[in-house]
Chains A and B, each alone.
Chain A
């Protein structure tokens, strides 16, 4: 079949199809495109290197076709070669994600073949998701069925392998994931049968996830141990809400799962998550506690870090947005085990009051703490096989992180707003190794003052002044940012990050970066140039280490 035949058929097909009455409901096509290009220049002072190909290029194109309850989609990916900071093993161009799905319009039946993302409960034993800008993607590839037989009941079942790599095509890991989840919305269920309308809303859920990977044996000293091939994990959850109050409880467990994260020990895993919150107009607070013990769960026992996680255990600390607080010492859950707790308060000082001012003032406070587990190490053969015993769900002696921050946000006039944030941080770089220059606890104070001025109609200037003070690691830092926008199309920004307190005077570097961009509805182009610090880049709840770079960056995104 040559191109000519294809074209002739293509032109004729709609006419033929329409004539035969096959075209009933028009389908729709939507898509998006994302491109990132980076050039590199050498800069030994900041550790920026030039790869042999001298530039990096990542691109993603998504296409979804939808007609009624049917949809099919694919993602074309290109890494020619991958931009530094992405997994370097991602290579070539090809289809990295494809699926077909039917979701009955009544919601009763929904099935997918091919790739899909999924989350059970809080994700503590299963979450397939992507953070494309970080190169994180553990999509499942298999079959998923969701049924909602009556209102208030949802059942999910799936079988699949997980995405591990990309080499001109999708490459899945070796393990098979099998999972079921059920949830009951008690109110939805009762509303249908008896017309109860409780003020308390209760949702119950339970999941079971099992993975299979071929086994074998490992030897520890004189012991020859058999690696289990089928590993199950389970979880129970309860959520309740009443008149502004909300409470949640989730418990999960996992049978022995010797893997690279736990030093191939045979201890069972356990996790407990408790939340309590209250909110009404102008006020909200929440407290939560979480202990995870040996809950690393991957579909390949031998991989680490971002590869093949089946579950998701987010950090207890707040995801910070300002540059110095977000990228220098971001905390990540210690996957082998930690005990943690957090408390949060939001309050709006009403407008018109003396403290609130003309437009009102918003206050927020957040405190998070995490320590190692409260454990006793075993001895002899037991230590080799099981490692330790946990004494309680509470905090152990080893401090991982303390993060306190408070923010005041105030609108002064129609043209001027400001926001001040203070952070107090104690960060154990041995527990979360974000720096190679210091091992121990970093004590840091961070101050951020942000202003926003409307200069003219549709134009505004935003500035950030940030300072981080610490005696440890690389010492003090400052960041200044200025961003000018012409709504709705243009922006220009300059940011300078300066390590002014580094004890090594030669390392007191300015990381200056400028960018200009244009937005046209769903299309966005930005061009940047400058130095980027080696550090941690976070989106949502996930962070990845990126190397230092110096050069141009061009970013384009578009959707239709």
Chain B
């Protein structure tokens, strides 16, 4: 009897919470560092009114690097047309974190790169594996995501950017 009441209370609380909340994923706030060693709060990543593309990647993840290398060639055009800002969040841990800056420079990326070595931000964003790409609108809501990369996906990303840039 006691456990029935307990379960009932738990169920009630859960349903009550679910009834009052939104299902849209919003951007969680986590403190990270960029490649220059400066602290950045993920809550400050979104530019009001412009879309932001958040790409989780790692130096050991080939499809992630293909994705960001392909976006790099289009980035200038995308920025002109949609005002998008790309943020590349590396989940490289201590083994490979020192490779991030030299790699990023060697492939000439112009993205803001953040370091998430213990996956605090990845966990808060429900990232299971990389690459995982999120499009955040100018209000800070996650409006599109994709958990994979294959050549040509940038066309889908571009369509989404146009849709959310307005």
- Please tell me if the beta carbons of A487 and B156 are within 8 angstroms of each other in the complex: yes
Contact with A along B84-111 (1 / 0, CB 8 A): 0000000111111011011101111000
- Tell me which of A255-263, A315-323, A424-432 binds B: A315-323
- Please tell me if the beta carbons of B16 and A10 are within 8 angstroms of each other in the complex: yes
CB interface residues, B 103-128, toward A, < 8 Å: 103, 105-108, 117-120, 123-128
- Please tell me if the beta carbons of B19 and A129 are within 8 angstroms of each other in the complex: no
- Please tell me if the beta carbons of B103 and A284 are within 8 angstroms of each other in the complex: yes
Give the CA-CA distance A362 to B93 in the complex, in Å. Answer: 23
- B162 at the binding interface (Cβ < 8 Å): no
Nearest A-chain residue to B146, judged by Cβ: A521
Please, which residues of chain B bring their CB within 8 A of the CB of A519?
A: 146-148
- A472 at the binding interface (Cβ < 8 Å): no
Question: Which listed residue, A2, A347, A488, touches B152 by the CB 8 Å rule?
Answer: A488
Nearest B-chain residue to A313, judged by Cβ: B94
- A230 at the binding interface (Cβ < 8 Å): no
- Please tell me if the beta carbons of B4 and A1 are within 8 angstroms of each other in the complex: yes
CB interface residues, A 1-36, toward B, < 8 Å: 1-2, 5-6, 9-10, 13-14, 17-18, 23, 26-32, 34
Nearest A-chain residue to B60, judged by Cβ: A319
Nearest B-chain residue to A288, judged by Cβ: B98
- Please tell me if the beta carbons of B106 and A28 are within 8 angstroms of each other in the complex: no
- A454 at the binding interface (Cβ < 8 Å): yes
Question: Which listed residue, A103, A344, A560, touches B99 by the CB 8 Å rule?
Answer: A344
- Please tell me if the beta carbons of B156 and A105 are within 8 angstroms of each other in the complex: no
Please, which residues of chain B bring their CB within 8 A of the CB of A103?
A: 29
Please, which residues of chain A bring their CB within 8 A of the CB of B101?
A: 246, 277, 279, 284
- A275 at the binding interface (Cβ < 8 Å): yes
| B4 CB to nearest A CB, Å | 6
Nearest B-chain residue to A239, judged by Cβ: B37
- B79 at the binding interface (Cβ < 8 Å): no
Give the CA-CA distance A398 to B126 in the complex, in Å. Answer: 44
| A249 CB to nearest B CB, Å | 13
Question: Which listed residue, A2, A29, A62, touches B23 by the CB 8 Å rule?
Answer: A29
Please, which residues of chain B bring their CB within 8 A of the CB of A198?
A: none
- A354 at the binding interface (Cβ < 8 Å): no
Please, which residues of chain B bring their CB within 8 A of the CB of A377?
A: none
| A311 CB to nearest B CB, Å | 11
- Please tell me if the beta carbons of B28 and A346 are within 8 angstroms of each other in the complex: no
Please, which residues of chain B bring their CB within 8 A of the CB of A9?
A: 12, 15-16
| A163 CB to nearest B CB, Å | 15
Question: Which listed residue, A119, A346, A458, touches B102 by the CB 8 Å rule?
Answer: A346
Give the CA-CA distance A346 to B102 in the complex, in Å. Answer: 6
- Please tell me if the beta carbons of B105 and A282 are within 8 angstroms of each other in the complex: yes
Contact with A along B145-156 (1 / 0, CB 8 A): 111101111011
- Please tell me if the beta carbons of B147 and A522 are within 8 angstroms of each other in the complex: yes
Given A14-B19, A71-B28, A452-B151: A284 in contact with B102 (beta carbons within 8 A): yes
- A312 at the binding interface (Cβ < 8 Å): yes
Please, which residues of chain B bring their CB within 8 A of the CB of A523?
A: 147
Contact with A along B1-37 (1 / 0, CB 8 A): 0001101110110011111111111101101000011
Contact with B along A94-109 (1 / 0, CB 8 A): 0000000001010100
- Please tell me if the beta carbons of A348 and B107 are within 8 angstroms of each other in the complex: yes
- A491 at the binding interface (Cβ < 8 Å): yes
- Please tell me if the beta carbons of B28 and A281 are within 8 angstroms of each other in the complex: no
Give the CA-CA distance A279 to B150 in the complex, in Å. Answer: 29
| A432 CB to nearest B CB, Å | 15
- Please tell me if the beta carbons of A17 and B151 are within 8 angstroms of each other in the complex: no
CB interface residues, B 23-58, toward A, < 8 Å: 23-26, 28-29, 31, 36-39, 41, 43, 58
Give the CA-CA distance A468 to B151 in the complex, in Å. Answer: 28
Give the CA-CA distance A516 to B95 in the complex, in Å. Answer: 32
Give the CA-CA distance A118 to B90 in the complex, in Å. Answer: 17
Please, which residues of chain B bring their CB within 8 A of the CB of A133?
A: 129
| A273 CB to nearest B CB, Å | 9
Please, which residues of chain A bring their CB within 8 A of the CB of B11?
A: 6, 10
| B148 CB to nearest A CB, Å | 4
| A224 CB to nearest B CB, Å | 40
- Please tell me if the beta carbons of A28 and B105 are within 8 angstroms of each other in the complex: no
- Please tell me if the beta carbons of B150 and A491 are within 8 angstroms of each other in the complex: yes
Please, which residues of chain B bring their CB within 8 A of the CB of A541?
A: 93-96
Question: Which listed residue, B102, B126, B148, touches A279 by the CB 8 Å rule?
Answer: B102
- Please tell me if the beta carbons of B20 and A32 are within 8 angstroms of each other in the complex: no
- A241 at the binding interface (Cβ < 8 Å): yes
- Please tell me if the beta carbons of B15 and A6 are within 8 angstroms of each other in the complex: yes
- Please tell me if the beta carbons of A460 and B103 are within 8 angstroms of each other in the complex: no
- A196 at the binding interface (Cβ < 8 Å): no
Contact with B along A311-346 (1 / 0, CB 8 A): 010110011110000000000000000000000111
Give the CA-CA distance A259 to B103 in the complex, in Å. Answer: 39
- A296 at the binding interface (Cβ < 8 Å): no
Contact with B along A133-158 (1 / 0, CB 8 A): 10000000000000000000000000
Nearest A-chain residue to B30, judged by Cβ: A103
Q: Which of B92, B95, B108 has the most CB of A within 10 A?
A: B95
Question: Which listed residue, B23, B98, B124, B132, touches A286 by the CB 8 Å rule?
Answer: B98
For the complex with contacts A26-B20, A541-B95, 11 further pairs of A-B residues with Cβ separation under 8 Å are: A201-B38, A241-B36, A348-B107, A362-B107, A452-B66, A458-B152, A486-B150, A488-B148, A488-B153, A519-B147, A540-B91
Chain B residues engaging chain A, CB cutoff 8 angstroms: 4-5, 7-9, 11-12, 15-26, 28-29, 31, 36-39, 41, 43, 58-62, 66, 91-96, 98-99, 101-103, 105-108, 117-120, 123-129, 132, 144-148, 150-153, 155-156
Shortest 10 CB-CB distances between A and B: which pairs? A284-B102, A487-B152, A1-B8, A541-B95, A314-B95, A485-B150, A346-B106, A458-B152, A10-B15, A460-B151
30 A-B contact pairs sorted by A residue (CB < 8 Å): A9-B15, A9-B16, A10-B12, A13-B15, A13-B19, A28-B23, A34-B128, A64-B126, A71-B124, A105-B29, A129-B118, A130-B119, A246-B37, A282-B106, A284-B103, A285-B102, A286-B102, A314-B94, A320-B60, A321-B61, A347-B106, A452-B66, A454-B152, A458-B152, A485-B152, A519-B146, A522-B146, A540-B60, A540-B96, A541-B93
